[in-house]
Chain A
Amino acid sequence: MSRVKRLGLIVNPLAGIGGPAGLKGSDGEDVQALALERGVRPMSAERAAQTLAALKQNNGLEGLQVLVGPGDMGATSATLAKVEVEVVGTPTPARTSADDTKRVARKMKERGVDLLLFAGGDGTARDIFDAVGPDVPVLGIPSGVKIQSPVFALHPLIAARIAAGHLREKGRPLTHAEVIDLDESSLRNGEVTTCLYGYLLVPEATSGRQGRKSGTPASDTRAQHEIAARIADIADNHLFLIGPGSTTLVVKEALAGGGTLLGVDVIENGRLILADASEQDLLTVLPETGAHVIVSPIGGQGYVLGRGNQQISRLVLERIGYGNLMVIATPGKLASLGGRPLLVDTGDTTLDVRLSGFVRVITGRYDEAIYPLRAASFG
């Protein structure tokens, strides 16, 4: 007999309070205090309750054990939604912090949740990633000011639907989606800088943020394997320097049986010769000719260079030759860009401009797309 399935819920009670207060984010105690001073009422508990209530209404919680964080970190939402739950973790201070989110998330992981819902924004997604890593199925309920990471459903009700689909049926495809966050301190100084923090495992329907119940007929997972087959077709006697990402990981697995999700790996003739390499490592190992760089855009954002793969620097690209830069992306990932161009931000504006134009993106074994690529500094 299979064990009872468990659903976890963690709410970041302070997520999103910076928005109505005009503070461009909610990270940092001083900002949170300022927002509360300005009379902002946190909404994340109510939005999480909306998801729980919709799940309950559609019998999505039947036969399920629901674990929630204490107080405003989950229990309050459960009370609002009239859902019976087990509270995980000890009571928290009135003003919670990132550490509280991480502490409860780790507990949820220990309890073996089948899906961990979290209500918050990009900052909360970072905390969840820090706590549970890239192997626990999670799904974001959008409640923050910044929702850049494609780990969030479009709306709390859509989160309920995706969660129900994942919990009810086995074999629903899961995929790694990016945890992206703005550097809020630079944002408040009028600059916009984003970072790729890591990858969370989410139901496949999440990353397109379309809220469909299922993946697309030509699902992204299949497209990733097609792309990997294309690379494998030309792999003999080539050295590949492969950047981070879910699609590139499938390529690494196809070529060498594995690699890192977050790192830049070097693969030659079916062997992983360098994992999670630094720029210096790459320069040391690169041959004079015959090397290729493979990168994939960050979902929803479109960065192919300069986010999460800074090791692939100007020096590395010069050595390999700009003509040997290969961009790979599933059609679904390109669609998720909503018509926005691919971006490069190598830190060298001249190089960024030089790389701009149109690139051939490998989208399948026999398919390519012509897609615009722009220097990020040119907006």
Chain B
Amino acid sequence: MRHVSDPSRYHQARWDEPLIFELHEPGRRGIVVPQIDPDIQGIVGDVVEALPDHLRRSTPPNLPEISQVEVLRHFLRLSQQNLAGGLVADMGMATSTVKYNPIVHEALVRSPELAALHPYQDERTTQGILEIIYRLETLLCAISGMDRFTFQPRAGSAAIYTNAAIIRAYHESRGEGEKRNEIITTVFSHPSDAACPATAGFRVITLYPEETGYPSVDALKTALSERTAGLMITNPDDTGIFNPRVAEFVRLVHEAGGLCAYDQANANGLIGITRAAEAGFDLCHFNLHKTFSTPHASGGPATGAAGVKAELARFLPTPTVEFDGRRFYLDYERPDSIGKVGAFHGVVPNVLRAYAWIMSLGAEGLREAAQVAVLNNNYLLTKLLDIPGVTAPFAEGEHRIEQVRYSWQQLAEETGIGVDDLARRAADYGIHFFLSHHPFVVPNPATVEPTESYTQADLDTHAAIWARLAEEARTDPDIVRTAPHKTPIHAIDESVFDDPDRWATSWRAYLRKYAEGSDGLPAFL
């Protein structure tokens, strides 16, 4: 009989493993590098002295000194304490969908044909990878209806920034750069649709939704003026609700003189169904890790593919990959380009992975992936709404596209158990879920996106864990409040995340902020 694992018997590995810097013991070595043979030394002289002054460190790097066994033990333990992408983290990582990553692609990207390439090679020797870059661009143009793409941006936000920079360049080219300084977005769009144009120097106007879950046309009209530079939105928003009037939004923005950029980072529910071009958008972008199977990599290296209509192609970053009918080549002669937004051609292994995924599915396969993603999401929606205490605010009773932002507010009011408690307790069952971006417009939010790659049994298990969490909140709130109990790290104090004086994202920052006479000092320092 097939054995199905019981999530209530899950327990994560738990080691009392310090940071690698805390393992430091002066003089300890992993390997001892042999001294240079005197004969060789006699011929080459002092190699270090031969280096120019400005290339030599005055002090050695402050690295931990540890033995080989300590290094191996340390990293093995860390790997065991991971939640593991591709296994359990995916379903709950809505909006950031860590979707199906075919492991077979790793064989492609690690093959010497790709791994041994160098971007400075003569292009006559890199025709193969230039062809794949060119072909992926052609495929994404067909999927989106755009005319050109760049893969230079290193992630989704970098692609949104690229599009904001192109919008700015477009208005500057028409002598309206100073005047058109406002970008319109929606509160349920990804926050990068506000943050990236702000970084590019724009003011940002945010639209709030009606009961339908999306803003009204009148709200948009209030935002429009001669200062409008463009619209940068997702659709569906993080609620999973599709704005059916999006073409009208685009038309109104165009009439006001603005451009429209479609954040399609996560197009899981739409590929093969709708296209940015048909709604009238001038720009769009895909995250290859959210829609086209490449690893999320937790902050990179990733690829945000930014696409534009032909009229905006002259502003794309340099170089572009072109084909003259005989050979592929790089075009650097682009005087109107916004310049570079990343080195070379982006994360080329991701270009190859995405190309392989699209080619292995084909057009019909892409469409089916979207359909199954939507089906899975609505199946899970129906199952979760059976649990007392949860709602799916906005557009109640209607279907969603690929994800849903749930609200556990009723459960919190009844039991005092909020979503951050539930999230910690969920870790005891080996799953993870995303709450929401800040601020929480949906109270006590949880955002779930099951994607296309899970079985019905997986979805049933996921729903059963949610039902168990809600039941525990009522019958044994203490076990939820004090969770997690089965993971290496227990509840942590989040308050420092707010405070630049106290957060520490590196060992050096930690020493700087905590090592000198602070009362929060750990004993070992």
Interface residues of A (CB under 8 A from B): 54, 57-58, 154-158, 165, 169, 171-173, 208-219, 331-332, 334-335, 338-339, 357-360, 363, 366-372
Contacts and interface: CB of A to CB of B under 8 A. Distances in A.
Contact of A338 (B443, B494, B499): B443
Given A154-B412, A212-B418, A213-B493, A339 B209 contact: yes
A213 B413 contact: no
19 contacts: A154-B412, A154-B416, A155-B413, A155-B415, A172-B495, A210-B418, A211-B416, A213-B494, A214-B497, A215-B498, A339-B209, A366-B202, A367-B204, A368-B203, A368-B206, A369-B206, A369-B207, A370-B206, A370-B222
Given A169-B493, A216-B498, 20 more contacts: A154-B416, A155-B413, A157-B477, A171-B499, A211-B418, A211-B420, A216-B440, A217-B497, A217-B498, A334-B208, A339-B209, A339-B394, A358-B218, A360-B205, A366-B203, A367-B204, A367-B206, A368-B203, A369-B205, A372-B210
B209 A368 contact: no
B205 A208 contact: no
A90 to B, nearest CB: 33
A213 B420 contact: yes
A371 B208 contact: yes
B418 A165 contact: no
Interface string B376-396: 000000000000000001100
B438 interface: yes
B441 A335 contact: yes
Given A154-B418, A212-B420, A217-B497, A370 B207 contact: yes
Interface of B: 187, 194, 198, 202-211, 215, 218-220, 222-223, 393-394, 412-413, 415-418, 420, 438-441, 443-444, 477-478, 481-482, 493-495, 497-499
Contacts of A371: 208
A213 B202 CA distance: 33
A214 B494 CA distance: 6
Contacts of B206: 331, 363, 367-370
A368 B194 CA distance: 11
B408 to A, nearest CB: 11
A261 B219 CA distance: 31
A145 to B, nearest CB: 14
A156 B416 contact: yes
Contacts of B202: 366
Given A165-B495, A171-B499, A335 B416 contact: no
Contact of B208 (A154, A169, A370): A370
A370 B215 contact: yes
A58 B209 CA distance: 40
A165 B219 CA distance: 39
Given A165-B495, A169-B495, A339 B441 contact: yes
B217 to A, nearest CB: 11
Nearest to A169: B495
Of the listed residues B204, B219, B498, the one surrounded by the most CB atoms of chain A closer than 10 A to its CB is B498
Contacts of B222: 357-360, 370
B486 to A, nearest CB: 19
A82 B213 CA distance: 47
A372 B219 contact: yes
Contacts, number: 120
Given A156-B416, A158-B418, A367 B194 contact: yes
A3 B357 CA distance: 65
Contacts of B198: 366-367
Contacts of B208: 334, 339, 369-372
Contacts of A332: 438-439
Contacts of B218: 357-358
In order of increasing CB-CB distance, the 8 nearest A-B pairs are A157-B416, A155-B416, A335-B439, A358-B222, A216-B438, A214-B495, A332-B439, A211-B418
A255 B41 CA distance: 71
B86 to A, nearest CB: 28
Contacts of A169: 493, 495
A336 to B, nearest CB: 8
A155 B412 contact: yes
A2 B136 CA distance: 65
Nearest to B520: A169
A169 B206 CA distance: 35
A214 B440 CA distance: 13
B412 A369 contact: no
Nearest to B218: A358
B498 A214 contact: yes
B394 A217 contact: no
Which of B187, B202, B497 neighbours the largest number of chain A CB atoms within 10 Å of its CB? B187
Contacts of B498: 173, 214-217, 219
Nearest to A366: B203
Nearest to A368: B205
Nearest to A209: B443
A357 B209 CA distance: 14
A147 B222 CA distance: 34
A159 to B, nearest CB: 8
Contacts of B211: 339
Contacts of B443: 209-210, 338
Q: Which of A58, A156, A213 has the largest number of chain B CB atoms within 10 A?
A: A213
Contacts of A339: 208-209, 211, 393-394, 441
A369 B218 CA distance: 13
A208 B444 CA distance: 11
Nearest to A333: B439
B204 A211 contact: no
A370 B481 CA distance: 38
A259 to B, nearest CB: 26
B509 to A, nearest CB: 17
Nearest to A155: B416
A256 to B, nearest CB: 26
A335 B478 CA distance: 29
Nearest to A210: B440
A198 B27 CA distance: 65
A144 to B, nearest CB: 14
B396 to A, nearest CB: 12
A369 B498 CA distance: 23
Most chain-A Cβ atoms within 10 A of its Cβ — which of B220, B420, B438?
A: B438
Contacts of A208: 439-440
Contacts of B481: 54, 157
B204 A366 contact: yes
**Max chain A C-beta neighbours (<10 A), residue from B393, B413, B416:** B416
Contacts of B220: 370
Nearest to A170: B519
